[in-house]
């Protein structure tokens, strides 16, 4: 896996429709996810963000950042 916005750019050029941004199983924080959401938008990819836990604050921040869907773990 290629982390960060560069990986999203590569995926965007290969014909995929969406990308999963996994905040649960990595060390990525809000800023990293924000960069990846922006890159997905630039390349016409739907961004699905897997948040680290079921917490309304982080879910809202990801939606406000432009995520098109949220995957909530362990519910």
> Domains of the chain: which residue ranges?
4-71
Q: What's the whole-number mean pLDDT along residues 17-24?
A: 94
Nearest C-alpha neighbor of 69 from the set 54, 47, 39: 47
The distance of Cα 50 from the centroid of its chain, to the nearest Å, equals: 7
For residue 46, give the 3-state DSSP assignment: strand
Residues found in the chain? 75
Whether domain 4-71 has CATH 3.30.300.30: the reply is no
| Res. 4: pLDDT tops 90 | no
pLDDT digits (tens, 9 = 90+) for 26-69: 778 899 999 999 999 999 999 999 999 999 999 999 999 999 99
Res. 6 pLDDT band, cuts 50 70 90: confident
Q: What positions carry a catalytic annotation?
A: 25
Asked whether 43 and 66 are in contact (CB, 8 A), the reply is no
- Across the range 6-27, mean pLDDT stands at 90
pLDDT at 2 (0 to 100) = 67
């Amino acid at each position: 896996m290629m982390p960060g916005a560069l990986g999203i750019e590569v995926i965007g050029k290969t014909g995929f429709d969406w990308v999963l941004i996994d905040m649960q199983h990595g060390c990525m924080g809000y800023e990293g996810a924000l960069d990846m959401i922006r890159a997905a938008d630039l390349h016409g990819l739907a961004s699905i963000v897997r948040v680290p836990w079921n917490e309304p604050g982080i879910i809202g921040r990801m939606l406000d950042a432009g995520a098109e869907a949220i995957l909530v773990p362990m519910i």
